Amino acid sequence: MTANGAIDRLILNVADGDMSALAELYGYISAPVFSYALSVLKNRADAEDVLHDVLVGIIRHAKSYESRGKPIAWVITMARNLCMSRLRERSRFSDAPAEEVYLPDNVSPEDRATLRACMEKLKDDERSIVVMHAAAGLKHREIAQILGLPLSTVLSKYNRSIKKLRETLNDKEYGD
């Protein structure tokens, strides 16, 4: 069974009241949701809260979920909406600076520094598109739908972002 098929099945199991399916579902969605939320919010605690709220949202809305073969898009859309809500809330109540950019936890300190430098070169929307494609495994068409952008815009931003990342890596590698 594909990952999408497994996620689909697990959401439907949660809808039927099987809370043990939620633990298995967490294994599939935690990394992409957390990565996406962290790339948008740039705050680890807020990203963890969004992941928690997504799980609560799945429990609440699983009965209305319609299987269309793209459950991760449904989950990431939920995460996106929660992130946007947090950003609106943050702008109303705080001028706190962003704490961090998305970085996987399982990298060496040297690679971490390189990844941080690369990701900081990207604009927020570019970073979100790269993370949704690379970490969440979403297709560009799905990203365009989630962000409400034309597919051509998502593709051009993604390609421009990859070019920036390559240039940054080349500059670091050759000391330019």
**Which tokens is 11 given?**
């959401």
pLDDT tens, residue by residue, 107-122: 678 877 777 777 778 8
Claim: this prediction has a pTM higher than 0.75: no
Q: What is the pLDDT of residue 18?
A: 93
Ramachandran category for residue 98: left, alpha or beta (phi over 0 → left; psi -120 to 50 → alpha): beta
Query: Domains in the chain, ordered, with CATH?
Result: 3-174 (1.10.1740.10)
Q: Of 77-86, 94-103, 120-129, 135-144, which has the strongest mean pLDDT?
A: 77-86
| Residue for token pair 């990342």 | 165
Average pLDDT over residues 10-37: 92
CA atoms within 13 A on the CB side of 118: 23
Q: What is the pLDDT of residue 50?
A: 95
Residue 30's nearest CA partner among 53, 1, 62 is: 53
Q: What is the pLDDT of residue 128?
A: 82
Contacts of 54 (CB under 8 A, 6+ apart): 29, 33, 75, 78, 79, 82
